């Protein structure tokens, strides 16, 4: 694609003796020049972004073995996007204008900084590195999502593997499913090493230390500051996680008829990566699979939209339903698709889509509400007041926080009664309910802030050797999660590579941990200050005030500093105090349950 050529007049350098009239003229001239540059850049950027998004959408939703044409189109579209965002002309222009910050508005400065951040992943000065990186990323995505998972020689979907790990009490069956889920890593290990090198080289061309530091910089933090924040958050919730780990060891040993292990074998827990264990607990009445089975997957989607409309938001565009890929592929389909739920802002305007495989069960009820949170976040900041280049969350964690917040709210009894999924007279065991939530929201914290963050720091910042990938992975899983492999996992494996984000959403997993903390800060504020309800028993449905509060968080997009946004709306900084308060009743119960039991995790992490 022909690249846009921008003619950029030099800015006037002012002498110290310039008079006020000259100052005003120079300021006006500089501002006008920046506006002209931003207008031209945005037009081309948005066009290329959309083309790339459509190519990636096809790559993720229609995976055919042996198909090279789709991959080629994605490579070409991504290359055109990379050529533009990483062009030396655009980089030099943005840097030049930023030298004159005193003449520019905050909005202009933020857009120029966004241009430089976008350039960081694909700078022209890195030469062939960028082309190699794009090709390698496309190949890695194809190999990851086109993999044929097999259990005992039979092809299975990841949904089927997840079902076994959530429900089966047969340890041999569980082991076979868990091992099958990790086979994909073998063929991805060399690809990850190559991607690590290419990603580091690409950002180092713009003076970033490495790819991890590049991603962290979007928060306005150093790598060490991000590590310190995540380690602090893990430390703050560690006493509760330690009690959950102890409880789980004894609970699962009894369930499987085994001796209590010191550490949890990976195939014992109900998740491929041990990142959430909520299916260990059934809260009577709050597993409403049967009710959802009768209503169907399409009903879940429509009711999810209805929830957001009840808060005062607009209907989804019709194209959301016609262009999204919302349900599992039909039986016998001759292609595959990415089974990881995601939300897409295709054109940074009104083409919003979701990629899911919705089935009528409780897990997908939660997931649908979560993913629609991202979609409505996109719609919130798609307005004339937010420039295209700043149509993103206040920080990346904000997006996950909003989505997961609604996921939490969607599972509380009053809302479920409102939707006819549980009976109003149902007596819910609050402690069990909290336990089920903690096995999700607390258990994920050491995984996200610890295992994933530390592994990717080692990978990118410390250039972890390829022959140490698996050893480092399991060292971190034991340290932070108290989880060990069923048997020795040598370096022929790359169990980290089985995690989607390691491959195609790298060095950002701390987003989920920070989002988890933020969502409880948001939820406790809504429950206590807006709804005046018990935080464990809320109903957001129909609350326009809740809608206004969430809109205040979402609508500015990236036009405001995230810390300022937090202070303005919560009068608080990021803190684990809210999540600890929410789960305090559970902590007391767990301590009683674990009295006399051995705790094999240290008191402090």
Closest CA to 438 of 579, 254, 284, 263: 579
Low-confidence ranges of the chain (pLDDT < 70): 1-24, 26
CA distance 310 to 268: 41
Q: Which residue has the tokens 């076979």?
A: 176
353 beta partners: 344
CA distances from residue 303 to 345, 372, 394, 549 in whole angstroms, order as listed: 21, 11, 28, 22
Buried b (16+ CB within 10 A) or exposed e, 36-59: ebbebbbebbbbbbbbbbbbbbbb
Output the CA torsion sign for 248, 250, 253, 254.
negative
Q: Pick the closest to residue 469 from 491, 489, 452 (CA basis).
A: 491
> What gap in Å lies between CA 344 and CA 337, rounded to an integer?
15
pLDDT of residue 65: 87
Buried b (16+ CB within 10 A) or exposed e, 451-481: bbbbbbbbbbbeebebeebbebbbebbbbbb
Q: What is the rounded distance in angstroms from the CA atom of residue 196 to the CA atom of residue 463?
A: 8
**pTM score:** 0.85
Contact of 497 with 185, CB cutoff 8 Å: yes
Tell me what percent of the residues of the chain surpass a pLDDT of 70.
Answer: 96
CA angle 314, 553, 403 (to 5 degrees): 70
Six-digit token pair at 502?
Answer: 């390691």
Q: Which of 351, 343, 346 is nearest to 316 (CA)?
A: 351
Spatial separation of the C-alpha atoms in residues 347 and 204, rounded to whole Å: 29
d(CA 130, CA 125): 9
CB atoms within 10 A of CB 314: 10
Rounded to an integer, what distance in angstroms lies between the CA atom of residue 310 and that of residue 327? 24
Q: 504: buried, middle or exposed (CB in 10 Å: 19+, 13-18, 0-12)?
A: middle
d(CA 557, CA 554): 6
Residue recorded with tokens 């009711």: 303
Closest CA to 431 of 579, 578, 541, 592: 592
Check residue 188 and give its pLDDT. Answer: 98
Phi first, then psi: what are they for 353, rounded to 5°? -140, 165
Whole-Å CA distances, 254 to 57, 102, 232, 280, 438: 45, 67, 33, 12, 20
> How many Å separate Cα 393 from the centre of its chain?
12
End-to-end CA distance of the chain: 52
Of 22, 41, 17, nearest to 94 by C-alpha is 41
Query: What is d(CA 524, CA 521) in angstroms, rounded to the nearest whole number?
Result: 5
User: What domains are defined for the chain?
Assistant: 24-126 (no CATH), 225-593 (1.10.1370.30)
The kind and range of the H/E element at 403 are: helix 396-409
Q: What pLDDT shows up at residue 4?
A: 34
State the pLDDT at residue 20.
Answer: 54
Short-list 509, 510, 514, 546, CA closest to 528 = 546
Q: In terms of DSSP bridges, do strands 154-155 and 150-151 run parallel, antiparallel, or are they unpaired?
A: antiparallel
Beta-ladder partners of 151: 154
By the 8 A CB rule, do 568 and 222 touch?
no
Beta strands at 264-265 and 483-484: parallel, antiparallel or unpaired: parallel
Question: What's the pLDDT at 150?
Answer: 96
Sequence-ordered alpha helix ranges (H) in 99-222: 106-120, 128-145, 158-167, 171-182, 189-204, 211-216
**Separation CA 184–CA 201 (nearest Å):** 26
Kindly state the helix (H) or strand (E) to which residue 70 belongs, with its residue range.
Answer: helix 69-85
> How is residue 153 written in tokens?
């020689």
Residues 401, 518 contacting (CB under 8 angstroms): yes
Over residues 70-120, the pLDDT tens digits come to 999 999 999 899 999 999 999 999 999 999 999 999 999 999 999 999 999
Give the Cα separation of 15 and 520 in Å (integer).
52
Q: Residue 69 in contact with residue 47, Cβ under 8 Å?
A: no
Nearest in space to 563 (alpha carbons), one of 404, 450, 398, 400: 398
What token pair was written down for 126? Answer: 């890195």
HEC assignment per residue over 367-379: HHHHHHHHHHHHH
pLDDT reported for residue 1: 40
Please state, in angstroms and rounded to a whole number, the distance separating the CA atoms of residues 378 and 448: 24
Distance CA 99, CA 113 (A): 12
Distance CA 390, CA 363 (A): 33
Condensed to tens digits (0 to 9), the pLDDT of residues 449-473 reads: 999 999 999 999 999 999 999 999 9
């Amino acid at each position: 694609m022909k690249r846009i050529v921008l003619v950029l007049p030099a800015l006037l350098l002012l002498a110290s003796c310039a008079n006020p009239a000259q100052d005003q003229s120079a300021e006006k001239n500089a501002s006008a020049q920046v506006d002209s540059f931003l207008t031209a850049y945005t037009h081309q950027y948005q066009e290329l972004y959309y083309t790339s998004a459509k190519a990636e959408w096809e790559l993720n939703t229609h995976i055919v073995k042996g198909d090279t044409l789709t991959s080629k189109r994605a490579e070409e579209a991504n290359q055109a996007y990379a050529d533009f965002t990483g062009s030396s002309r655009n980089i030099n222009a943005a840097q030049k204008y930023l030298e004159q910050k005193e003449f520019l508005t905050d909005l202009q400065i933020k857009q120029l900084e966004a241009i430089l951040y976008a350039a960081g992943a694909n700078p022209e000065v890195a030469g062939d590195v960028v082309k190699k990186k794009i090709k390698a990323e496309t190949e890695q995505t194809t190999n990851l999502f086109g993999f044929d998972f097999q259990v005992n020689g039979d092809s299975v979907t990841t949904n089927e593997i997840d079902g076994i790990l959530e429900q089966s009490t047969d340890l041999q069956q569980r082991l076979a499913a868990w091992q099958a889920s990790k086979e994909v890593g073998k063929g991805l290990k060399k690809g990850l090493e190559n991607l690590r090198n290419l990603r580091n080289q690409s950002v180092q061309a713009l003076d970033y230390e490495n790819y991890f530091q590049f991603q962290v910089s979007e928060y306005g933090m150093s790598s060490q500051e991000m590590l310190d924040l995540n380690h602090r958050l893990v430390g703050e919730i560690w006493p509760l996680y330690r009690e959950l780990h102890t409880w789980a060891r004894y609970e699962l040993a009894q369930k499987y008829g085994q001796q209590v292990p010191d550490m949890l074998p990976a195939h014992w827990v109900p998740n491929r990566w041990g990142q959430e264990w909520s299916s260990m607990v059934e809260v009577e009445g709050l597993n409403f699979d049967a009710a959802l089975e009768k209503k169907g997957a399409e009903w879940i989607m429509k009711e999810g939209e209805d929830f957001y409309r009840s808060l005062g938001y607009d209907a989804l565009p019709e194209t959301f339903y016609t262009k999204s890929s919302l349900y599992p592929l039909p039986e016998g389909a001759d292609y595959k698709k990415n089974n990881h739920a995601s939300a897409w802002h295709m054109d940074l305007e009104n083409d919003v889509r979701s990629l899911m495989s919705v089935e009528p069960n409780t897990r997908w009820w939660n997931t649908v509400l979560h993913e629609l949170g991202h979609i409505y976040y996109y719609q919130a900041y798609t307005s004339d007041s937010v420039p295209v280049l700043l149509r993103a969350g206040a920080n990346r964690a904000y997006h996950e926080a909003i989505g997961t917040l609604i996921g939490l709210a969607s599972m509380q009894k009053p809302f479920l009664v409102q939707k006819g999924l549980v009976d109003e007279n149902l007596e819910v065991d609050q402690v069990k309910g909290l336990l089920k939530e903690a096995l999700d929201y607390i258990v994920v914290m050491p995984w996200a802030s610890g295992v994933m963050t530390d592994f990717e720091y080692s990978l990118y910042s410390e250039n972890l050797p390829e022959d140490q990938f698996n050893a480092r992975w399991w060292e971190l899983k034991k340290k932070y999660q108290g989880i060990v492999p069923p048997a020795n996992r040598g370096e022929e494996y790359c169990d980290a590579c089985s995690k989607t984000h390691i491959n195609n959403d790298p060095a950002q997993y701390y987003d989920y941990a920070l989002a988890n903390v933020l969502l409880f800060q948001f939820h406790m504020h809504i429950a206590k200050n807006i709804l005046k309800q018990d935080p464990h028993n809320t109903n957001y449905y129909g609350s326009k005030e809740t809608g206004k509060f969430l809109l205040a968080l979402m609508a500015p997009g990236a036009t405001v500093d995230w810390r300022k946004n937090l202070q303005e709306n919560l009068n608080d900084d990021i803190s684990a105090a809210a999540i600890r308060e929410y789960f305090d009743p559970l902590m007391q119960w767990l301590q009683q349950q674990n009295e006399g039991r051995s705790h094999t995790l240290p008191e402090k992490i």
